[in-house]
Structure formats: C-alpha cells, structure tokens
C-alpha cells in the first residue's frame, strides 16, 4: 500500500498506518526478507528492531505533517468551540432537572438561588387542592457570567399540570442566578469530555486520529523493546 503525502490525505495516512501497526500484533505479523516499506522505502533482510524503528520514524513524520497542517489546526479550534457547546447543553439539562424536581417536590432547587416560583399564589393554591404536580415542562434560557464557567442566570418558561385538573403556564418570568456545586462541576466536566470523545464531529475529526496515533506509537515502542530483549 502506498501513501500519498498530500495535504488532503494527511489524516487518512495517520489513521491507516496506525491501524496497520495495531493489527500487526494480534495477527503476529512477520517482517522478514526483502520488500518495500509502505511503498516508500525498499529494504533487504531488516531485523525486527530496525524495522519497528523505521515504522516509528514514518509514523512520527506522518503525524507531524498532519499536526502542522492548517486543516488540523482548524479542526482543533472547532473542537474547543464544540466542547463549550456540549458543556453548556449539559449544564442546561442539569438546571432543567433541578427546576423540575423543585416544582414537583415543592422544595428549593439545589443550584438556582432565591427561586420564587414556588411561592406563586396559583401554584401554591393548586398544590393544596390537587397535591404535587403530575407533569412539569421547563424550557430554559441560560446566560453564563462573563469569564465564569459555572455561574450565571437562568430564565425558565413553565408548563405545570396537576393530573389534568389544574394547569399553570408562565412565559418570560424572573431571571434567577445559578451556581453549581463542586461535585456537579466535576460531573459536568466528565460528561462533556465523554460525549466530545465518543459522540461528536470534533471527536471523529480531531481526537480519534490523535488517539490512535498515540496508541500506535506506544505499540511500536513495545515491539522495539521486545525485539531488543
């Protein structure tokens, strides 16, 4: 197989070479006699350690060509943007859950401060007549404070139902400040990283080639160590 050292194929080269390196171990690939190294370099009777040194050098070269390409740097910037969007969306889901639980259980929210919607006369009256709400729908508008990742303001549109006996709707109500607790911050970070790596365009475009190249290089070093023993 030959590798074209062209700008539009740099990522493909890194991914394909990394896969070839990784599948060589379970397949117990043997590199003996003479032949061609990836269509780039002819060799004759290269022993194992020298071969894996050559492969490592080619992998590093291809990776550096990929890393310093303008398209790669663009994808890196897009990763930063998508990471923040994912984090914001997950933060909104936590705030939505917090407000829903507050209204369903008639208790103060965990992270929304001075939440006054519980004291709205119509909501309080319906809770007394029909018990706690059966259905709560919340649509949020969240503004994070400038330069602060975990503080901001939330505005909630509400639709509340009490077993089809009573209804309450509120649009464009009060803005409330929110502050996440430390453990929630850590949880949101972990969920954001997981979703970015596993299920995002940036994860496929940027993180995957970098991850598989790193694993492939470790595999090369392992082969070198084993063949030198």
**CA terminus-to-terminus distance, the chain:** 30
Indicate the number of domains in the chain: 2
Least confident of 15-24, 84-93, 220-229: 220-229
Q: Is residue 89 part of a domain?
A: yes
Give residue 185's pLDDT band: very low, low, confident or very high (50, 70, 90). very high
| Residue 2 half-sphere exposure toward CB, CA atoms < 13 A | 6
Check whether 30 has a pLDDT greater than 80: no
Average pLDDT rounded to a whole number, residues 52-56 = 86
Give residue 47's pLDDT band: very low, low, confident or very high (50, 70, 90). low
196 Cα distance to chain centroid: 1
Same domain, 223 and 139: no
**Residue 66 or 120, more confident:** 66
> What is the tens place of the pLDDT at every residue in 88-125?
899 989 999 999 998 888 888 999 888 887 778 888 88
Check whether 79 has a pLDDT greater than 70: yes
Percent pLDDT > 90 in the chain is 24
Q: Is residue 135 part of a domain?
A: yes
The dihedral through the CA atoms of 23, 10, 204, 70 has a sign that is positive
Between CA 15 and CA 207 the distance in angstroms is 11
Same domain, 110 and 147: yes
Same domain, 104 and 147: yes
Q: Is residue 1 part of a domain?
A: no
Cα–Cα nearest to 137, from 117, 109, 161, 110: 161
Same domain, 111 and 180: yes
Give residue 148's pLDDT band: very low, low, confident or very high (50, 70, 90). low
Give residue 83's pLDDT band: very low, low, confident or very high (50, 70, 90). very high
Check whether 1 has a pLDDT greater than 50: no
Contact 103, 118 (CB under 8 A): yes
Same domain, 189 and 206: no
Contact 9, 69 (CB under 8 A): no
Same domain, 116 and 21: no
Contact 1, 39 (CB under 8 A): yes
Between CA 2 and CA 36 the distance in angstroms is 10
Same domain, 61 and 160: no
Q: Is residue 2 part of a domain?
A: no
Phi, psi of 106 (to 5 degrees): 55, 50
Same domain, 218 and 184: no
**Residue 116 or 64, more confident:** 64
pTM of structure: 0.73
Domain of residue 118: give its range. Answer: 84-193
With tokens 């663009």, the residue in question is: 74
What is the length of the chain? 229
């Amino acid at each position: 197989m030959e590798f074209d050292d062209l700008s539009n194929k740099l990522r493909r080269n890194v991914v394909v070479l990394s896969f070839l390196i990784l599948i060589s171990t379970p397949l117990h690939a043997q590199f003996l006699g003479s032949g061609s190294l990836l269509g780039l370099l002819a060799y004759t009777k290269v022993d194992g350690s020298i071969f894996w040194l050559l492969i490592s050098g080619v992998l590093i070269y291809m990776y550096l060509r990929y890393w310093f390409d303008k398209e790669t740097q663009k994808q890196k910037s897009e990763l930063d943007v998508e990471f923040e969007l994912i984090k914001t969306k997950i933060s909104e889901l936590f705030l939505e859950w917090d407000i829903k639980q507050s209204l369903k259980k008639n208790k103060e929210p965990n992270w929304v401060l001075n939440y006054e919607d519980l004291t709205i006369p119509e909501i309080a009256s319906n809770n007394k007549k029909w018990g706690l709400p059966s259905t709560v729908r919340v649509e949020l508008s969240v503004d994070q404070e400038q330069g602060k990742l975990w503080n901001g303001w939330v505005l909630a549109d509400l639709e509340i139902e009490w077993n089809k006996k009573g209804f309450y709707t509120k649009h464009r109500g009060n803005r409330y400040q929110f502050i996440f607790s430390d453990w929630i911050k850590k949880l949101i970070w972990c969920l954001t990283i997981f979703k970015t790596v596993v299920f995002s365009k940036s994860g496929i475009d940027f993180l995957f080639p970098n991850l598989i190249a790193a694993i492939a290089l470790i595999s090369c070093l392992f082969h070198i160590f084993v063949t030198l023993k």
